[in-house]
Chain A
Amino acid sequence: MRTSQTLRHLIGPIELLHEQAGPRLLRLTRLGVFALWIVKLLLDPLWRLAEMPREMLHPVGILALLPESALDALLTWNGLAALIVFTLGVLVLALTDKAFPVVATIAAVLLTAYSSLIRSFGPAVHTDIVLLLAVYSLAAFAWADWIALKFGGKKSLPAAWSSYPLVTIVAMLCLSYCLVGLNRTIAGGVHVFTGDTMEAWAVDASLRGYYFNTNIGWHIPEWPAVVFMLSSGLPVITLFEITAPLCLVVPHFRWIFIPVMLSFHLLSLVFMNIFFFDDMLCYLLLFDWSRRFPALQAPLRQTPA
């Protein structure tokens, strides 16, 4: 009896994240997601890709549907500059909340094209995919709100409508971790967690160097403590990845998950030059703001702006 009470105390309350979220929190999330994309694009000299040898391009996603002539036109200084300027314009428009479903949908298409383009010169890496899916979620739920209002009247829109995109974004973030962990554990098998696998991956990533290049990771074989930390940390991180969906429902789990995974992402930067800063910013949605700040909660009945 006492054990079960202690366990219950440790697990804490079980409640759906953002269940009480109101339109203000949704508005803040929209601002955050689109502002983050704006910052990313402002820092990106995309037009330089015109200098890349054409044979390096292996089109990803929707870019593969474009004819060669369209790709040739896109991969010029003017084409790339036009893509980034037009995308920035649409993103700024999305901040205003005017005709949001239409603007957000155009933004989703443009950001998909942009994200496909920057991956077409190498592997389709996972960084910022969840941020792109967040735009999909915001756009698609805005259309769902519009359809519900248009065909069902104001009463057809549920009181919790603001929480839908927020919960979906967190669910997609958690699902991405969960699928990564499951794939590693079940497809890779036990041997991924034994031997030198993690050390080899870390040295490999460090030698290659990416945008961030700490030039530290290839020293790892000299540091037994770091080798131990990486080898023993991989199964722990994988366990957190697989159990990430618990973040949706167990606040106590989130308080462990957030520091553990933030540390993991920072160590990935230090030792492997890999930085998932978009995912780290998405962690802001792992806080149940509406339970802490009543102003962000949903009123009993509300309609989209």
Chain B
Amino acid sequence: MTTSPRAPSRLHPAIAGVIIALIAALFIWLLSFSPWKVVPFALAGQAYVLIAILLAFRYWPPMIRWVTSMSVPHRAVFGVLIGSMILGHYTLNGRTYFPYVVWEIFPFVNERDPVTCREFIATTESGARVRLLAEQLFPSIVQIDPLDALDNPRLYPPGATERLARALARVYNEHHTGDPVRRVDLFVMAVKLHPPASESRAQPSCELLKRYDISSGQ
């Protein structure tokens, strides 16, 4: 299949690239340094760069040749698959339309110092201490919510932390019948990003929050 020759662009590609980059920089300035931090700027900025990228492909001859070689059903499939990914990203929703999710990894400034994290540390019958990780005892789960989220009444009912601790202990015991867990402690661990030079760094500092007795079988 042939395509009709297009008139050469009057704008030099380098100039077009500079203009596109300048407008993208404007969006970044609006979001990073301006007093108007509103979501539409973030969405419009991403859409702007994405459209620039898609247009670059749209006018690139081998891509035109490849797309025009497709039959209508093939074009429809290509358009729906790529379009759904982009639309899913713009729903700003990571769950409802899975696998068409919002693509965000480390998308905002994290200024926590010290960095804290809750952990379940179990004590077995022999006195050994083991960390109970949901992602290891239930390998199907890629990641659970952070344990402090379990205290959020909008997400979880009261007592969710304890029930999770007991579930983890139960599954651990099923695979370690010779030395079962007798107690689970909920600790909060803390790591300072800028610790004083004199401070020991052998282990993160930890504070006991709660203790669950597992031997009672409750």
How many residues from A make CB contacts under 8 Å with B? 98
Q: Is the CB of B27 within 8 A of A209?
A: no
Residue from B28, B50, B60, B69 in contact with A160 in the complex, judged by beta carbons closer than 8 Å: B69
Neighbouring B residues of A44 by C-beta, 8 Å? 139-140
A141 CB to closest chain B CB, in angstroms?
6
- Produce 1/0 per residue, B39-71, CB < 8 A to A: 000100110011001000100101100100111
Q: A136-B81, A168-B78 are in contact. Are A122 and B86 (CB under 8 A)?
A: no
Q: Is the CB of B111 within 8 A of A196?
A: yes
Tell me whether B167 is interfacial, beta carbon within 8 Å. Answer: yes
Q: Is the CB of B192 within 8 A of A221?
A: yes
Q: Is the CB of B194 within 8 A of A61?
A: no
Residue from B28, B94, B192, B201 in contact with A123 in the complex, judged by beta carbons closer than 8 Å: B94
CA distance A64 to B98 in the complex (A): 10
A40 CB to closest chain B CB, in angstroms?
10
Interface residues of A in 122-154 (CB under 8 A from B): 122-127, 129, 132-133, 136-137, 140-141, 143-145, 147-148, 152
Neighbouring A residues of B74 by C-beta, 8 Å? 141, 144-145, 148, 158, 161, 164
Interface residues of A in 190-210 (CB under 8 A from B): 190-192, 195-201, 203-204, 207-210
Neighbouring B residues of A64 by C-beta, 8 Å? 95-96
CA distance A129 to B88 in the complex (A): 12
A43 CB to closest chain B CB, in angstroms?
7
CA distance A184 to B102 in the complex (A): 12
CA distance A209 to B194 in the complex (A): 22
A-B pairs under 8 A by CB, number: 278
Residue from B53, B104, B163 in contact with A187 in the complex, judged by beta carbons closer than 8 Å: B104
How many residues from B make CB contacts under 8 Å with A? 86
Q: Is the CB of A51 within 8 A of B170?
A: yes
Closest to A137 in B: B81
Q: A53-B164, A122-B142, A221-B194 are in contact. Are A191 and B73 (CB under 8 A)?
A: no
Tell me whether B128 is interfacial, beta carbon within 8 Å. Answer: no
A45 CB to closest chain B CB, in angstroms?
6
CA distance A171 to B50 in the complex (A): 13
Q: Is the CB of A186 within 8 A of B46?
A: yes
CA distance A260 to B108 in the complex (A): 23
CA distance A118 to B97 in the complex (A): 15
Closest to A275 in B: B142
Tell me whether A188 is interfacial, beta carbon within 8 Å. Answer: yes
Q: A148-B74, A157-B71, A168-B82 are in contact. Are A186 and B98 (CB under 8 A)?
A: no
CA distance A195 to B78 in the complex (A): 41
CA distance A117 to B140 in the complex (A): 9
> Which stretch of B5-13, B130-138, B178-186 is in the interface?
B130-138
Q: Is the CB of B31 within 8 A of A55?
A: no
Q: List 25 A-B contacts (CB under 8 A).
A: A16-B63, A44-B140, A48-B138, A48-B140, A51-B170, A55-B160, A60-B96, A125-B143, A129-B99, A133-B99, A164-B74, A176-B85, A178-B53, A179-B50, A180-B104, A183-B42, A183-B89, A183-B102, A183-B107, A186-B49, A188-B109, A196-B111, A197-B106, A197-B111, A209-B133
3 shortest interchain CB distances as A-B pairs: A61-B98, A189-B32, A207-B117
